[in-house]
Amino acid sequence: MLCINLQAFERASNDHLHYWDWRKHRNESRWKAQEKGHIDYDAKNMMHTFRLLMSGESKLRNGSPIVRFGGESLSFLMKVRSGSYSYEELIDLVEEKVSGLSEFRDKSDLPEAPDLEAIETLLREATQLWQKNSGEE
Protein backbone atom coordinates (compact mmCIF):
# COMPACT_ATOMS: atom_id res chain seq x y z
CA MET A 1 0.00 0.00 0.00
CA LEU A 2 1.28 3.44 -0.90
CA CYS A 3 0.04 6.61 0.78
CA ILE A 4 0.85 10.04 -0.54
CA ASN A 5 0.16 13.49 0.87
CA LEU A 6 -0.59 15.24 -2.40
CA GLN A 7 -0.89 18.70 -0.79
CA ALA A 8 2.51 18.41 0.86
CA PHE A 9 4.07 17.10 -2.35
CA GLU A 10 2.63 19.97 -4.39
CA ARG A 11 3.74 22.52 -1.81
CA ALA A 12 7.27 21.07 -1.78
CA SER A 13 7.34 21.07 -5.58
CA ASN A 14 6.24 24.71 -5.68
CA ASP A 15 8.83 25.67 -3.05
CA HIS A 16 11.51 23.93 -5.11
CA LEU A 17 10.48 25.76 -8.30
CA HIS A 18 10.33 29.11 -6.47
CA TYR A 19 13.78 28.55 -5.01
CA TRP A 20 15.34 27.94 -8.42
CA ASP A 21 13.45 30.88 -9.91
CA TRP A 22 14.79 33.06 -7.08
CA ARG A 23 18.35 31.76 -7.70
CA LYS A 24 18.03 32.62 -11.39
CA HIS A 25 16.72 36.17 -10.81
CA ARG A 26 18.31 37.18 -7.47
CA ASN A 27 20.23 40.39 -7.07
CA GLU A 28 23.85 39.24 -6.67
CA SER A 29 25.11 42.74 -5.82
CA ARG A 30 22.90 42.88 -2.72
CA TRP A 31 25.26 40.65 -0.74
CA LYS A 32 28.64 41.73 -2.10
CA ALA A 33 29.28 44.46 0.49
CA GLN A 34 28.18 42.14 3.26
CA GLU A 35 30.33 39.24 2.09
CA LYS A 36 33.40 41.48 1.82
CA GLY A 37 32.86 42.59 5.42
CA HIS A 38 32.03 46.21 4.52
CA ILE A 39 28.74 45.99 6.42
CA ASP A 40 27.58 43.58 9.10
CA TYR A 41 23.81 43.70 8.51
CA ASP A 42 21.26 43.14 5.75
CA ALA A 43 21.06 46.68 4.36
CA LYS A 44 17.90 46.09 2.32
CA ASN A 45 15.99 44.74 5.31
CA MET A 46 17.28 47.60 7.45
CA MET A 47 16.06 50.08 4.84
CA HIS A 48 12.61 48.48 4.95
CA THR A 49 12.65 48.71 8.75
CA PHE A 50 13.14 52.47 8.51
CA ARG A 51 10.56 52.74 5.71
CA LEU A 52 7.96 51.06 7.92
CA LEU A 53 8.88 53.18 10.95
CA MET A 54 8.61 56.38 8.91
CA SER A 55 5.31 55.30 7.38
CA GLY A 56 3.94 54.41 10.81
CA GLU A 57 5.03 57.76 12.18
CA SER A 58 3.17 59.50 9.35
CA LYS A 59 0.06 57.45 10.13
CA LEU A 60 0.21 58.53 13.77
CA ARG A 61 0.99 62.19 12.99
CA ASN A 62 -1.15 62.82 9.91
CA GLY A 63 -3.64 59.97 9.79
CA SER A 64 -2.20 58.38 6.64
CA PRO A 65 0.91 56.31 5.96
CA ILE A 66 3.60 57.25 3.46
CA VAL A 67 3.56 54.90 0.51
CA ARG A 68 5.94 56.65 -1.88
CA PHE A 69 8.93 58.40 -0.38
CA GLY A 70 10.69 61.37 -1.88
CA GLY A 71 13.21 64.07 -1.09
CA GLU A 72 15.25 63.80 2.08
CA SER A 73 13.39 60.70 3.30
CA LEU A 74 14.11 58.79 0.10
CA SER A 75 17.73 59.92 0.16
CA PHE A 76 18.10 58.64 3.74
CA LEU A 77 16.51 55.28 2.84
CA MET A 78 18.83 54.85 -0.14
CA LYS A 79 21.86 55.63 2.06
CA VAL A 80 20.71 52.96 4.52
CA ARG A 81 20.28 50.48 1.68
CA SER A 82 23.74 51.24 0.29
CA GLY A 83 25.34 50.56 3.69
CA SER A 84 26.42 54.13 4.39
CA TYR A 85 25.77 53.81 8.13
CA SER A 86 27.25 51.52 10.73
CA TYR A 87 24.98 49.03 12.45
CA GLU A 88 25.37 50.91 15.74
CA GLU A 89 24.34 54.21 14.13
CA LEU A 90 21.23 52.59 12.68
CA ILE A 91 20.26 50.96 15.97
CA ASP A 92 20.56 54.34 17.71
CA LEU A 93 18.34 55.89 15.03
CA VAL A 94 15.78 53.09 15.36
CA GLU A 95 15.63 53.52 19.14
CA GLU A 96 15.17 57.27 18.68
CA LYS A 97 12.36 56.69 16.15
CA VAL A 98 10.61 54.13 18.35
CA SER A 99 10.63 56.42 21.39
CA GLY A 100 9.18 59.20 19.22
CA LEU A 101 6.46 56.84 18.00
CA SER A 102 5.39 56.21 21.59
CA GLU A 103 4.77 59.95 22.07
CA PHE A 104 2.74 60.17 18.85
CA ARG A 105 0.78 57.05 19.80
CA ASP A 106 -0.31 58.63 23.08
CA LYS A 107 -1.67 61.65 21.17
CA SER A 108 -3.21 59.63 18.31
CA ASP A 109 -6.93 59.07 17.87
CA LEU A 110 -6.33 55.55 16.55
CA PRO A 111 -8.28 52.87 18.45
CA GLU A 112 -6.46 50.73 21.00
CA ALA A 113 -7.31 47.55 19.09
CA PRO A 114 -8.39 46.74 15.54
CA ASP A 115 -12.06 46.20 14.69
CA LEU A 116 -11.85 42.44 14.11
CA GLU A 117 -15.43 42.21 12.86
CA ALA A 118 -14.79 44.88 10.20
CA ILE A 119 -11.55 43.13 9.20
CA GLU A 120 -13.35 39.80 8.86
CA THR A 121 -16.06 41.43 6.72
CA LEU A 122 -13.45 43.10 4.50
CA LEU A 123 -11.57 39.83 4.08
CA ARG A 124 -14.76 37.98 3.20
CA GLU A 125 -15.78 40.62 0.65
CA ALA A 126 -12.31 40.75 -0.92
CA THR A 127 -12.19 36.95 -1.16
CA GLN A 128 -15.62 36.80 -2.77
CA LEU A 129 -14.67 39.52 -5.26
CA TRP A 130 -11.43 37.72 -6.11
CA GLN A 131 -13.27 34.43 -6.57
CA LYS A 132 -15.85 36.09 -8.79
CA ASN A 133 -13.19 37.76 -10.96
CA SER A 134 -11.00 34.69 -11.22
CA GLY A 135 -13.85 32.31 -11.97
CA GLU A 136 -13.31 30.25 -8.80
CA GLU A 137 -16.79 30.53 -7.29
137 pLDDT band, cuts 50/70/90, is low
Give pLDDT tens digits for 13-65. Answer: 999 999 898 888 877 666 665 666 667 788 888 999 999 999 999 988 888 89
Q: What's the confidence (pLDDT) of residue 42?
A: 85
Q: What's the confidence (pLDDT) of residue 122?
A: 96
Give pLDDT tens digits for 64-87. Answer: 899 999 999 999 999 999 889 988
Q: What's the confidence (pLDDT) of residue 36?
A: 63
For the chain, domain boundaries: 36-106
Mean pLDDT, range 9-15, rounded to an integer? 91
Q: What's the confidence (pLDDT) of residue 25?
A: 80
Q: What's the confidence (pLDDT) of residue 29?
A: 66
Which are the contacts of 130, defined by CB distance < 8 A and separation ≥ 6?
A: 136
pTM higher than the cut 0.85:
no
Q: Which amino acid is at 73?
A: S
DSSP line for the chain: -----HHHHHHHHHHHHHHHHHHHH--GGGGHHHHTTS-SS-HHHHHHHHHHHHHHHHHHHHSS---S--HHHHHHHHHHHTT-S-HHHHHHHHHHHHHHHHHHHHH--S-SS--HHHHHHHHHHHHHHHHHHHT--
* Angle at CA of residue 53, ends 51 and 54, nearest 5°: 65
